[in-house]
Structure 1
Amino acid sequence: MSKYPMDYEEYEKRVIELFVNPYPKGKREIIIERLEAALKEDPNLIKGMYAESCFRYDHPDIYGKNCKKVFEDYLLESIPVNTLHILLGGGFG
């Protein structure tokens, strides 16, 4: 049992869902291909994001009481999902 609200597998699944869902159906395949290529190149990409979220969760002395919310959708979208959008999203114009 994880001491965090999500174990890594749950985190990875949720981050990917939140990353892919805003794209229209025709673009999702492209986004998924980009994500798969990025994870093939760096299999630790999302693992690193999970480690960072766990670090934030463990340090209210640094991040304040909101650190316990890092596994909620709002903060997942703000940090790891937004990072994926910056790295892999867009370019459809």
Structure 2
Amino acid sequence: MRTYAGLPENDYPFHDRDALVTHCGRICMHRKKINISTVLAGQKLGIKEVDDGIWLVSFMHYDLGYIDLEQRTLQTIDNPFRHEVVIHVLGTLCYLCLRYGQ
């Protein structure tokens, strides 16, 4: 039987503090609950104050967005996980498209 170790423990030495995402996808900062994502439940995020009341939120080495404590929301930045645009080259086959025709 194979066992999986999961993700390594995240460390954020250049951030002001760490925050653990709850099972319902939130972090708590200054007695305020901020929705992040249930996908990150149980993971530690790095949080760094970049301006008065504005915090940068990072997961591993990806910056996810900014939290404004007054609005209690995460404003995401460009998707760091997005794939680059793939350009179709004439003369190549796209097997996923064959079921729909050319």
| TM-score, normalising length: structure 1 | 0.23
Q: Structure 1 or 2: larger strand share?
A: 2
Bigger radius of gyration, 1 or 2?
A: 2
Q: Per chain length, whose mean CA-contact separation is higher, i.e. which structure has more relative contact order (CA < 8 Å, sep 6+)?
A: 1
Higher helix share: 1
TM-score by length of 2: 0.22
